[in-house]
Structure 1
Amino acid sequence: MSTQKDHERQSSPTPSPPAPSAVPAWPRPRCLRRPSRDIPPGMMARLEAACRHLRKSGLRITGARIAILKMLMRHDVPLSSEQITLALGPETCDMVTVYRTLATYLETGLVRRIFSDNGTSLWLLADRTDAACHVICKGTGAVTTLDPESAAEVHALLGKVERTLRERGFTEITHMLGFFARAPKPPA
């Protein structure tokens, strides 16, 4: 038996969605909505761009993913997953979460992975222009950045190789380049 309420539910029009201009193109994740002292001014735009990239890839924005992004943005040198886990602490996320998150970031093109001479994976954001220009000490594992002039030469050569490969029909071109050396001893 149909009641008056049932009839009203069936006959009432569904509300129309808000106009496109009223809906933001990308809602900020909750963890980025409130001002935070731990996000320097220049980092917020990069963080929002990374979150948009993740959303476009069909991924949710979680607190652990944001924390790992912030960690990578704060450092000028590539970090190992162990370094990231230790720096974040167990209350943020565990080692498995860090591994899985970094693997996801790699699949979406958000991070790059380089390898130390002992095979340890080191991670840095893909938007870094000096991504291929790090020197890893064979003795200590310390990572330093190549000088700007040498880095520019390396990038010019890599760009030339990538253009040549594209001309030959290659697609989805990536590269891994690592410099390994024993660091000079500090003066006594």
Structure 2
Amino acid sequence: MGSTNFFETGAFLKTRPEADYATIQVEFMPLVRYVHNGKLEARAGFNYWIDLSRPHSRGKLQLRSADPLAAPSIVFNHLADPSDVDELVNGVQMVREMARQSALASVNKGELMPGAAIKSRTELAAWVAANVGTSFHPSGTCRMGTADNAVVDSTGRVHGAQGLRVIDASIMPRTVTGNLSACVFMLAEKLADDVRGRTSPGTGPIRL
């Protein structure tokens, strides 16, 4: 009960007023962590973690062999779409504005990364490209649908195969704005009913 997952607060924010969804997710950590000699270390400070809500870049997952236990080839292909770079640069600029607020003046002793010398959008884009990483929420490699690039139908059955279903984040046809957990729970509950031959609850109000 007295533990922490590092992220003490968070927010879904629009970096552009015309956007119709929260373009970034920001988490706040009351420490600075980094890898030193292969070990994760922490130091005094605070850190903003910026996640791109709906990246346009697309990666790929391929089988290496017919061995089902062999690790696949996973290529994230981060920032292949220039709009993703622009959105993350917007996010860095927004977070910098947060950090400049008077409420943090007593604890803000200067920016560590990217650093005060990095100012232009071109410089920020280069920093983003050098530091981008995964938040371990990939999805959509076995997307649901009827299009030629779809892998499963609405019940998770693999097109053209018998007795094979996929029920996890890979069948999501589009990237969602937030973390995947709730969506995966919903998929599992919904499609488990179909596997078991049960009728799923309706969409109307539940009467207790």
Instruction: Assess same fold via TM > 0.5.
Output: no
Q: Which structure shows the higher strand fraction? A: 2
Q: Look at both structures and tell me which one has the larger radius of gyration over its CA atoms.
A: 1
- TM-score by length of structure 1 reads 0.29
